[in-house]
Amino acid sequence: MDKWVLLEHEVYNAKSKDIHYDFLVENGIDCLTWKFLKLPLLNQASIEISKQPNHRLIWLSRIEHELSDNRGFVKRIDHGIFKNVSTDLDCENYRFILDGELLYGLFEISANSCRLSKSY
């Protein structure tokens, strides 16, 4: 338990390819999941994030995967172990200490925004 993963999700459209990122945090039976359009940068302004339906645990171990029905392609770009410094994992506000290469430090989610900072 306490695994997290950052996935780059390419979504295929008729004329283009859109990219977003999925951030998943292990929650026992599945993964809490959020989507954002750009990566948060350390000690920079908050970015927009949106809660998504929980994802299956299999996504914590997949490195690359072609989605069914031509819905796109997903690849893992960062992962690690998190420490939850929130009061619980069942609210709108979360605080995780992450140990990744792209996401490291204190990752805070508050409603529809997130921020990554070194101080915790």
pLDDT tens readout for residues 55-94: 999 999 999 999 888 778 999 999 999 999 987 666 789 9
C-alpha to C-alpha distance for 27 and 3, rounded to whole angstroms: 9
Answer yes or no: pTM beyond 0.75: yes
C-alpha to C-alpha distance for 83 and 19, rounded to whole angstroms: 28
Joined together, the tokens standing for residue 79 give 């992962």
DSSP-derived secondary structure for 43-69: TS--EE-EEEEEE-GGGGT-SEEEPGG
C-alpha to C-alpha distance for 116 and 87, rounded to whole angstroms: 18
3-state SS, residue 13:
coil
Judge whether residue 97 has pLDDT over 90.
yes
The whole-number average pLDDT for the span 96-107 is 96
Joined together, the tokens standing for residue 71 give 């819905």
Joined together, the tokens standing for residue 76 give 């893992």
Judge whether residue 31 has pLDDT over 90.
yes
pLDDT band at 15 (very low <50, low <70, confident <90, very high): confident
- CA dist list (Å): 28 to 19, 56, 61, 84, 89: 28, 10, 15, 13, 11
Q: Where are the domains of the chain?
A: 3-117
